[in-house]
Structure 1
Amino acid sequence: MGREHEWFLSTLESNSVLILIVAVLTLILLRLLFVIHRTGKPLRPTSAKPLSTLIVLRSGGHTAEMLNLLAALQKDRLYPRYYIAAATDNMSLQKAQTFESSSDDEMGKGKAEYMKIYRSHEVGQSYITSVGTTLVATAHALWLMIKIRPQVILCNGPGTCIPICAIAHLFKVLGIRWSSIFYVESIARVKRFSLSGLVLYKLRMANQLYVQWPQLQRKYPRSIYVGCLM
């Protein structure tokens, strides 16, 4: 009788743990579906308060496109501004500082910070060694996201935006912070998305994803065609 009682209690305990795990996973799945559903809805302005904004830069034309985009936005609504570029990118943050110093945004002027982030994969790096660097880059991105906790994320193609956007999406699911992600595909992408754009599109992580060519919008119908921004 004693053994049967112990077996019953052990079975009950095991079933309770299993039920708890299933319940937690179900809640996470429901929350994930809610986040995906809400992310795909049009955004509505909630208040006139400024929004902390994280801007992901990349060397070359990507940074020029992003700064042109910022020049056309209401920068008095987007501050403080946090500019992030890859650790090996020596030019983008300098261009951002020049842009900020010449800005006519008196309210937001002086409220910009400049940061670097580790890259998960360098050009020519083997896939085996990139596993370790990807883990380091993800940990660094997590630390930056905890520190900044932006309300808006702007990006237009650099691979460094993927861990940042993925962490922002995780924060949404966990209820830590809701960051609206806006992705603008580069003007150089005429017929297909970049890898970063494709990941954000397929996983529905971006709140709004803009393209600069109509044929690209036809191929990816959930994107928004805005014309050439350059």
Structure 2
Amino acid sequence: MESSQPVFTLVVLGSEGGHTAEMMNLLSLLQMDRFAPRFYIAPATDDMSLQKACVFEDSLVHKNGVKGPLPQFMQICRSREVGQSCTTYVWTTLLAIVCALWLMIRIRPQVVIGIRWSSVFYVESIARVRRLSFSGLLLYKLHIADQFFVQWPQLQKKYFLSSLCWLSHVVD
């Protein structure tokens, strides 16, 4: 694939609060015409994240004149709700994995927010100061991520993989 060719991009949005805001900040740094078409995905219980993504896409058209294929917005089942018991989130996580795999087969993205078929890059949320999120912990323990980034030096010191790096502030 030539570097000038746009790539199918899947943008995975987190929970309604800061995770989606972080993703929008990260996306604003990218050359968006390079990442098209874009498919946004959020948990079925999270309408706010998709609304923020829609506003972001509208701003690209109005401010920058970005044109191309229209973005698509989708929801899938959530792996775990805040406060959900450990005994039930195993099953909901398995269901979410099946939904995510079906989506990956259907869309066949070339890029998943910095995750490519050949390399997996994971950036842990800035909100995670003392320990990794459930998703991050799974990727870390199962050695799925080729590069694993945290945003706090104490997390870098706590987990001793050579691929674990501290990002000072990617987005101001």
Q: Under TM normalisation by the shorter chain, which class is it?
A: 0.7 to 0.9
Q: Mind listing any 5+ residue stretches in structure 1 that lack a counterpart?
A: 1-44, 156-164, 169-177
Conserved 8 A contact 1:180-1:206: yes
Aligned positions, number: 165
The aligned residue for residue 28 of structure 2 is 71
The aligned residue for residue 227 of structure 1 is 168
Distance 1:68 1:140 in 2: 27
Distance 1:194 1:52 in 2: 27
CA separation of 1:100/1:125 partners in 2, compared to 1, >3 Å: closer, same or farther? same
Q: CA RMSD in A?
A: 2.6
The aligned residue for residue 85 of structure 1 is 42
Distance 2:52 2:146 in 1: 27
CA separation of 1:74/1:224 partners in 2, compared to 1, >3 Å: closer, same or farther? farther
The aligned residue for residue 100 of structure 1 is 57
The aligned residue for residue 47 of structure 1 is 3
Distance 1:139 1:210 in 2: 26
Larger Rg: 1
Distance 1:150 1:124 in 2: 32
Distance 1:223 1:143 in 2: 30
Conserved 8 A contact 2:146-2:163: no
Match of 2:41, SS? strand
The aligned residue for residue 72 of structure 2 is 113
CA separation of 1:136/1:203 partners in 2, compared to 1, >3 Å: closer, same or farther? closer
Equivalent in 126, 137, 147 of residue 96 of structure 2 = 137
Match of 2:78, SS? coil
Match of 1:192, SS? coil
Q: Mind listing any 5+ residue stretches in structure 2 that lack a counterpart?
A: none
State the identity %.
Answer: 58
Conserved 8 A contact 1:53-1:82: yes
Distance 1:126 1:187 in 2: 24
Amino acid at match of 2:97: T
CA separation of 1:76/1:208 partners in 2, compared to 1, >3 Å: closer, same or farther? farther
CA separation of 1:180/1:80 partners in 2, compared to 1, >3 Å: closer, same or farther? farther
Distance 1:70 1:95 in 2: 12
The aligned residue for residue 134 of structure 2 is 195
Equivalent in 107, 110, 113 of residue 148 of structure 1 = 107
Shift of residue 51 of structure 1? 1.7
Greater fraction of residues in helix: 1
